[in-house]
Structure 1
Amino acid sequence: MTETDIQTTNQLDCFKKFFVFDDGYSSLKEVGINSGFDTMDIRSIAWRIFLGALHGVCGNGWIKETQQQRNKYQILVDKLENGPIREKNLKKLTEESDTIPDPLSINEQNPWCQHFNEMDVEKRVGVDILRLFSEYDFFRNDQVREHIKRVCVIYSLEHSELQYNQGFHELVGVLYYCISRDIQSWKGTKEVMDNLMKDEFKENINADVYKVMSYIFDEQYMEHDAYTMFDLLMHSVTDFYDPNETRNSTIESPDGSATHTKLMIKCDKLFKELEKLDNQLYLHLKYEGIHLVIFGTRWLRLLFDREFHVMDVLNVWDAIFAYGNNLEFVDYLFLAMMIQIREPILESSQYSTTMMLFMKYPDIKDIHDVINLAKELADKKGDYDPLPYIKPLSGTTLTQKVMEMGTKQRAQKKQEEFTVPKHVQEDRSIVEQQQEQEKVEQQKKKEEVETNELVKQRIKHSIQLLSSSINNEGVISDPSGVVEALSELKLVNAVMNGLLPTELADGYFNIFDKKE
């Protein structure tokens, strides 16, 4: 057996170690939290166990469970594809029915009403799918996009009370990618085992394992398995998407106002936990009026899958699912991520830097640094060690830095002029001086126009965001949208008062645009 063959059979060895000989999965959970499953190619099986899709040890029971789950999803696919208003069925409907359905009827039982709803969901999902992890070749594959899209559409139609929400496609995308990686590894493992073991392989314990792995790692059912895992995952994150949770509720800011939504309650709980963990960072956020929901909405809804590279996300989810307890580890990861960037936030002690770091989380050299910190916090259960005080650097706000740079440049220029011989300065023509003055004035006017245009655009954007977040009765329907709009207006005010240069403001405003 070659070295390549040995590496290929590692998947089989790990499968037997964790799923055949350890019925309590204690070792599996330990690996998931401490190191992850990057080198084992069994991640999708581990996740199914943690999420509750598979029970007990590997055997025929797994095949039966998986078969039932796939059959259930196939029924939903057939239901979607065979709808009465689908092109292939429309002619049959009009020929066999005494009464032709009226496309303009608003009766929910009307097939056209169902059809229009399906088309609306498919359109919304389709738009999001085109943006899904577009930086990765895997997610630009048309078949991959179609599978992920159908999972999102079917789940949304089957959970009409929840409806489709942005973020579904990203959760499904990570699950689908995880399954695909394991199946690609299984192709190599299966080929090696078929060629090297043959009849001998079928006579030992590997025979049953081989049978189960062949069934579970079936490429034609990746979409089915992704739906099963997504459906189970949503049991734990539904509260963060439920549209009913954002109605008739108020926004809590750090001043202590009341909240009612579960997402806001979660962020409030984390904010109070931060007070115990890092009082200095807590006071800074409270003073600046930065509510965790501004960035926490995305962190929680997507389980951090937009804050890290996709391979790092797989390790993060390993730890989240392995820890269990209804995704409790998410809370500790949330706090750990904040602590990880406390130093640059507290050194600058400014609103714009804080927002930039939270909304566009900096690259992490080793994701396990964050995971291990979260694990330490989880072990301490609120009994945290005091963190070192970070002294704000004197005069280091972003605006001050820019002003200091400008002052130094002007002083340097003045010094250069001072050192020029007097007779040379006297020889400068009046025309040249006038030209320089005109350039300065033109540049100043250009900057004023750009600033005014930027302010107009951002105020218009904030008003639109506020309008979409408040319903016709004047009740807030999207608290996070209101918070984002107010945060944006705060930056606009800084630009209008000359506290934030236009060229720097563009970068911060892009944060809000990217979040949409």
Structure 2
Amino acid sequence: MAAYKARLEQFKDALSKSELDIKKIRELSFQGCPFESGYRSICWKILLEHLPLKRDEWPKHLQRQRATYKQFINELIIIPGEKAYLGALADGKLEDHPLNPNPDSQWSVQFKDNDMLMQIDKDCRRLCPDLSFFQSATKFPCNEIIHAKSNVETLRKRVEHTVLKSETVGRNRLGITNMQSTRRRTSDEYALLPDGQEAHWEVVERILFIYAKLNPGLNYVQGMNEILGPIYYTFASDPDPECKEYAEADSFFCFTNLMAEIRDHFIKTLDDSDCGIGYSMTRLMEEIHIRDPCLSHRMTEQDLKPQYFAFRWITLMLSQEFPLPDVLRIWDSLFADKNRFDFLITVCCSMLILLRNEILSNDFPSNMKLLQNFPYTTVEVIKVISKAVEMLHR
């Protein structure tokens, strides 16, 4: 208890400086941020470069960023939604109509957006299904959209009015069916909240939709919801009322900054480039070969390719391999890494080495099951991080 209080004082002291020492904040965050105090939210915003290092710049900076995000909602959701509503009322009297072949037609854009939105919606509805948080109502919904007099449909209702009542099952490039690991619930059916309320997953859906609209070269790729989810959860669960109120806008900018650094892992055409996921997986296997040649040989002998397990580990920053509280602890260290996620490769290497005895004795099917469903109940996250830190200092 005394040690915990001492750490709280260290965070308090470091974050109260008029000009923050980023090296000190990295050092403290790397060891884990105390969540109950709200320091994790502040540290993540600093480490993800959403907050400047000068504290007196915070109020104006946040006011400007949050106003910008509100404008994004207006321009990308509210105004197009109102145009679609007016177009539907006109019922063909306007030049623009649902069968208009012009690719710049508002209807054409709407249909294209809906295709993307259906995938975002499907992924967000089942975000962290083991937690009730994302299915519960936020106290800070977007009133401009959910207000009873609004002519704009929520994104959820747009999907419900668009989607065909069918289900397609397939495996994406992350190697998981419909973005669900085997420990996730198979059902994505949840009781919907009444009109006038928004679930937290709907807020995440809106952030991802806006991000995709602003980044047409990347658009939305399955798995982005797993990157955004822990960020939004951290801000929306913070004890500070202001942090909760503006969790949506702040999450958007932190997510955008994070994606700027890891987006190449989501671009399939870059898989085999020096900045793609293929290169990162190669780095992992090379590190295993250096640190544990016997383990490396066994994995090569059984043809345990990193595409089978490390693709997901690295691309989703281990968000599917551990429960959310453990993911938050891992991300404290990842965000604090001054080399920007080199530590992620070391953590993945640590996970493999901690499983070396099982891998050396198991047959191929057993090892595949083991690596695709990391046994976090027996190999706790603190062991994984401690082993990774130990490896760094060798």
Shared fold (TM-score, shorter chain, > 0.5): yes
Q: Distance in 2 between matches of 1:40 and 1:373?
A: 27
Alignment of 1:53-64 (within 5 A): 53-59=50-56, 61-64=57-60
**For residues 55-204 of structure 1, what are the structure 2 equivalents within 5 Å?**
55-59=52-56, 61-84=57-80, 86=81, 89-91=84-86, 100-142=95-137, 143-182=199-238, 185-187=239-241
Partners of 1:113 and 1:166 lie apart in 2 by 23
From 273, 288, 311, the equivalent of 1:297 is: 311
Q: C-alpha separation between the residues in 2 aligned to 1:354 and 1:270?
A: 17
1:31-90 CA distances to partner (integer Å, 9 max, x unpaired)? 22224333532101101111111122322x011221222122111111122344x25654
Cα shift at 1:261: 7.6
**Alpha-carbon offset, residue 103 of structure 1:** 2.5
Unmatched segments (≥5 aa) in structure 1: 1-6, 188-216, 250-258, 381-516
Report the alpha carbon displacement of residue 264 of structure 1 after superposing the two structures with TM.
1.1
Kept after mapping to 2: 8 A contact 1:107/1:113: yes
1:367 matched to which residue of 2?
381
- Aligned-CA RMSD value: 2.7
Amino acid at match of 1:312: D
Gaps of at least 5 residues in structure 2 are 138-198
**Is the contact made by 2:11 and 2:28 (CA closer than 8 Å) also made in structure 1?**
no
Per the alignment, do residues 168 and 132 of structure 1 end up closer, same or farther by CA in structure 2, a change over 3 Å counting? same
Deviates more, 1:235-244 or 1:260-269: 260-269
User: How high is the sequence identity, in percent, across the aligned residues?
Assistant: 25
Note the C-alpha offset of 1:283.
0.9
CA distance in 1, matches of 2:236, 2:11: 16
Secondary structure, counterpart of 1:82 in structure 2: helix
Task: Give the 3-state SS of the residue equivalent to 1:63 in structure 2.
Answer: helix
Asked if the contact 2:31–2:332 (Cα under 8 Å) also holds between the matched residues in 1, the reply is no
Answer 1 or 2: higher relative contact order, Cα 8 Å, separation at least 6. 2
Give 1:17's aligned residue.
13
Between 282-291 and 27-36, the greater mean CA deviation after superposition: 27-36
Structure 1 residues 40 and 28: CA distance shift in structure 2, 3 A = farther
| Contact 1:336–1:374 (CA under 8 A) maintained in structure 2 | yes
CA distance in 2, matches of 1:43, 1:367: 18
CA deviations 1:401-446 (Å, max 9, x no partner) are xxxxxxxxxxxxxxxxxxxxxxxxxxxxxxxxxxxxxxxxxxxxxx
Scaled by the length of structure 2, the TM-score of the pair is 0.76
> Does 2:357 correspond to 1:357?
no
Instruction: State the secondary structure of the residue aligned to 2:217.
Output: coil
Distance of 2:299 and 2:102 partners within structure 1: 50
- Larger helix proportion, structure 1 or 2? 1
Is 1:243 the counterpart of 2:268? The answer is: yes
Structure 1 partner of 2:183? none
TM-score (norm. length: structure 1) = 0.59
Moved over 6 A (4+): 92-95
Find the aligned partners of 2:201 and 2:370 in 1 and give their Cα distance: 31
Distance, in Å, in 1 between the alignment partners of 2:133 and 2:66 is: 23
Counterpart selection for 2:49 from 45, 49, 52? 52
CA distance in 2 between partners of 1:39 and 1:369 (Å): 22
